Amino acid sequence: MKKKLCIKYLFLLLVMLQCFYLSAQNHQTIDSVRNFVKSTSNDTAKISALIMLSKHFQDTNSDKAFEYGKEALTFSLQLNNLKGMGKAYNNLGDLYWYKGDYGASSVNYFKALKIYEDLKDDGAIAYCYRNIGWIYYYQKNFSEALNYYNKSLIINQKLKRNIEVSTNYRDMGTAYARQEKYNDAIKSYKSALEIAKEANNKEGMTAIYGNMSIVYDNMGKLDLAIQTNEKSIKIAEEIGHKRYLSGNYSILGSLYVKAKSYEAATFALKKALNLSKEIKDKNAIIDVYKSFSKLFEKQNDFKKALEYAQLAATLTDSVYNENNNRQANEMTAKYESEKKELMIAGLEKDKALSDEKLQREKNFKIYLLIFSLFIASFAFVLFRGNIQKRKANIALSFAYEEIESKNKDISDSINYSKRIQDASLAPKELKYKLFPDAFVLFKPKDIVSGDFYWYAEKDGKRLIASCDCTGHGVPGALMSMIGNNILNQIVNEKGITSPDEILNNLHKEVRKALKQEDQGATRDGMDIALISFNSETEIEYAGAQRPLWIINKMDNGELIIDNENPQQLQTINHQLIEIKPDKFSIGGHQSETERKFTKHNISLSKGDCIYIFSDGFVDQFGGNEGRKFMSKRLKDLLLANYSTPMLEQENRLIKTFETWKGSREQVDDLLVIGIRI
């Protein structure tokens, strides 16, 4: 009779749960399940029904979800039903996880694991391993997370649980993505997707597509990221999964912002916001507010950008305060629970009031008073901190607005200064006219530059210079303007074309312009390499701290160089010769009576390459060990690419520089000039 009754109740439960899944919003069905919980005498069925009710309210009513979840655990503990306890602990772990309380979530997951290990339930152990993996994931311990995901995968593969195997691959893909192992992540996601498609697991498919879109975005494949995210949204809409829809529309909005499709971004973010509010996911709402702020910032609507940034900050504070209040309530509830347990134990041990019991009660009242004072003090500190934080947020919003305004003014001024600096430099058309087979690699560190290139034509001579002024950015740019104007006056107005005389005059005029004869004056100046082409193969060079490099074929004979004993680097077919500069700069402090620069007369052959440059390339930090590039590497790079066309040499220099720099900041302005004879 009992067996028949049990089967009858289990059948009724299955019917109700089937209805529950077919119509999650049907209040009548929920009421039926509640009535079943009250009326059934089957313990296992009652625990399962309570857990299912808890899961139902997970997205729509967090308080209800916890109420049913804790009721399921209490009932399991009363009956000492180990399987029920394991399910209840896992369910509570999920609820705390969604709430963002990973400490409480971890405690419940490990309690469930211990029970299932005692029961030797491999399927449930695999589920616990996966949950624990997620705890490590959110602690950013991705290696340990992958370890637990893999433990879960091995068990699920052994049990041939394809849906769970697909989930394991999806989790591993997410961990690989956080380690920036994007190819491994995509490989794992594709394995998960293949299994999910075979099982027609649409919930799994929408989650996998959503995760893949994030990885494609990180890989720089924006179009593919958008297409994949839209696939996820389509499936989520089919199954009506609001949590996935909320997250995916939020991600899609951010992707459209990057793609500068602002109208589409607005539509997606509005959908995400409505869904997030509907499921009452405050963390998701905060993310959407932040995305809206970024969207309006891209559209130069700084007022709305600030408005949404403030909404995100305010809601973040609200979540922070809710968590603090919840902790205080849990402390009080825990204390009340312990108090009741003590009273019950006392009644069972001795119903008569003894002197010892009276003393305990007296002590208890004292402890209770102390604890109440502690709770009141704690609540006061939280309340006061909340008020101070709100005041700080208001002050911060005004400061942010003022900074944005000043930042825009400064940026506009610097961008305008760049246009002035660009206009003052020699036009590129003149470079191609004077030096047709050449390149000028010019990459400022900031918007404006302290490095500048200069070339001119006078009395049948072609002149070119690489100049490196003190500093970079705005100070360097001011020095470059001074240097550029003085060079033009010396050559075009005074008619001086000899490199050494040009530098002698430049030094005097810079010191004069900056009033460096006065005591306490600035020591700003510049380093420069200057070349004058007297004919196609005869050049003159003078340098202030900046050398001249020449590469020629070894079988074409030696170069004829006056006044210098150059250092040579040789390869099989060609060699690099360095003409050293004078060891003082233009401008700045002068200890000698008169500063004179040296002129070098140099004969070249057809096919030779010459290079002048600032120190920006060789001083750049990068590589695996974060060291400077150094002159030796630059020499080797130029020697290796000597035979390639000059424009190709420029491209290879740029590529090498960017690869070496990596994600590090550019340390100085960059200027390299190369000319083939």
Task: For residue 252, give the amino acid letter.
Answer: L
- Average the pLDDT over each of 338-352, 353-367, 462-476, 581-595 and give the range with the smallest value: 338-352
| Token pair belonging to 364 | 């208890």
Tell me if 627 is assigned to some domain: yes
Task: For residue 654, give the amino acid letter.
Answer: I
CB-CB contact of 580 with 527 (8 Å): no
CB-CB contact of 289 with 315 (8 Å): yes
Tell me if 647 is assigned to some domain: yes
Q: How many CB atoms lie within 10 A of CB 215?
A: 25
- 114 phi and psi, to 5 degrees? -60, -40
Domain with 523 in it: 428-676
User: Does 150 score more than 90 pLDDT?
Assistant: yes
What was the pLDDT predicted at 333? Answer: 47
User: Does 413 score more than 60 pLDDT?
Assistant: no
Query: Where do we find the tokens 């082409």?
Result: 533
pTM above 0.85, yes or no: no
Contacting residues for 467 by C-beta, under 8 A, at least 6 apart = 451, 452, 453, 454, 480, 483, 484, 526, 527, 528, 614, 671
What was the pLDDT predicted at 121? Answer: 92
- 368 phi and psi, to 5 degrees? -65, -40
Cα dihedral sign, 447-448-450-451: positive
Tell me if 37 is assigned to some domain: no
Separation CA 434–CA 633 (nearest Å):
30
Query: Per-residue pLDDT tens for 589-636?
Result: 887 888 899 999 999 999 999 999 999 999 999 998 889 999 999 999
Closest CA to 212 of 241, 186, 243: 186
User: Does 271 score more than 80 pLDDT?
Assistant: yes
Closest CA to 168 of 182, 186, 148: 148
CB-CB contact of 609 with 544 (8 Å): no
Q: How confident is the model at residue 30 (pLDDT cuts 50, 70, 90)?
A: low
Rounded to 10°, the helix 242-258/262-278 angle is: 160
User: Does 235 score more than 90 pLDDT?
Assistant: yes
What was the pLDDT predicted at 429? Answer: 57
Q: What is the DSSP string of 321-363?
A: HHHHHHHHHHHHHHHHHHHHHHHHHHHHH--S--HHHHHHHHH
Query: Per-residue pLDDT tens for 634-648?
Result: 999 999 999 999 999
- Kindly report the CATH number assigned to the domain that includes residue 534: 3.60.40.10
Tell me if 281 is assigned to some domain: no
What was the pLDDT predicted at 126? Answer: 92
Closest CA to 308 of 245, 244, 279, 265: 265
CB-CB contact of 130 with 148 (8 Å): yes
Query: Where do we find the tokens 């529950």?
Result: 20
Average the pLDDT over 82-91 and give the result.
90
- Average the pLDDT over each of 124-138, 171-185, 312-326, 409-423 and give the range with the smallest value: 409-423
Q: How confident is the model at residue 540 (pLDDT cuts 50, 70, 90)?
A: very high
Tell me if 417 is assigned to some domain: no
Closest CA to 672 of 479, 464, 533, 501: 464
- Average the pLDDT over each of 2-16, 84-98, 457-471, 608-622 and give the range with the smallest value: 2-16
Q: Give the alpha-carbon dihedral of 333, 334, 337, 341, to 10 degrees.
A: -170
Tell me if 569 is assigned to some domain: yes
Residue 488 three-state SS: helix
What was the pLDDT predicted at 422? Answer: 62
Share of the chain above pLDDT 90, in %: 36
Radius of gyration of the chain (CA): 37
Separation CA 555–CA 572 (nearest Å):
10
Average the pLDDT over 29-36 and give the result.
67
- Domain tally, the chain: 1
Q: How confident is the model at residue 373 (pLDDT cuts 50, 70, 90)?
A: confident
User: Does 19 score more than 90 pLDDT?
Assistant: no
Query: Per-residue pLDDT tens for 481-534?
Result: 888 889 999 999 999 999 999 999 999 998 888 888 776 566 788 999 999 999
- Average the pLDDT over each of 158-162, 216-220, 298-302, 560-564 and give the range with the smallest value: 560-564
Separation CA 582–CA 605 (nearest Å):
25
Tell me if 435 is assigned to some domain: yes
- Average the pLDDT over each of 259-263, 328-332, 524-528 and give the range with the smallest value: 328-332
Tell me if 56 is assigned to some domain: no
Separation CA 628–CA 637 (nearest Å):
15
- 229 phi and psi, to 5 degrees? -65, -40
Contacting residues for 456 by C-beta, under 8 A, at least 6 apart = 426, 462, 463, 487, 488, 491, 492
What was the pLDDT predicted at 658? Answer: 94
Share of the chain above pLDDT 70, in %: 77
User: Does 668 score more than 70 pLDDT?
Assistant: yes
What was the pLDDT predicted at 3? Answer: 39
User: CA-CA distances (angstroms) from residue 377 to 330, 363, 383, 391?
Assistant: 16, 21, 10, 21
CB-CB contact of 472 with 450 (8 Å): yes
| H-run or E-run covering 468 | strand 461-469
Give the angle 32-37-41 at the CA atoms, nearest 5°.
Answer: 130
Rounded to 10°, the helix 202-218/182-198 angle is: 160
pLDDT: which is higher, 555 or 587: 587
What was the pLDDT predicted at 416? Answer: 53
Q: Which residues pair with 541 in a beta bridge?
A: 531, 600
User: Does 569 score more than 70 pLDDT?
Assistant: no
What was the pLDDT predicted at 2? Answer: 38
CB-CB contact of 601 with 562 (8 Å): yes
User: Does 332 score more than 60 pLDDT?
Assistant: no
Give the angle 236-242-244 at the CA atoms, nearest 5°.
Answer: 55
What was the pLDDT predicted at 29? Answer: 59
Average the pLDDT over 254-270 and give the result.
90
Separation CA 481–CA 454 (nearest Å):
11
pLDDT: which is higher, 656 or 324: 656
Pairing of strands 609-613, 670-676: antiparallel
Separation CA 469–CA 445 (nearest Å):
13
- 240 phi and psi, to 5 degrees? 70, 35
pLDDT: which is higher, 387 or 253: 253
What was the pLDDT predicted at 22? Answer: 36
Separation CA 567–CA 341 (nearest Å):
90
| H-run or E-run covering 458 | strand 451-458
What was the pLDDT predicted at 25? Answer: 43
Q: How confident is the model at residue 409 (pLDDT cuts 50, 70, 90)?
A: low
Residue 676 three-state SS: strand
Closest CA to 75 of 85, 65, 89: 85
What was the pLDDT predicted at 423? Answer: 58
Q: How confident is the model at residue 652 (pLDDT cuts 50, 70, 90)?
A: very high
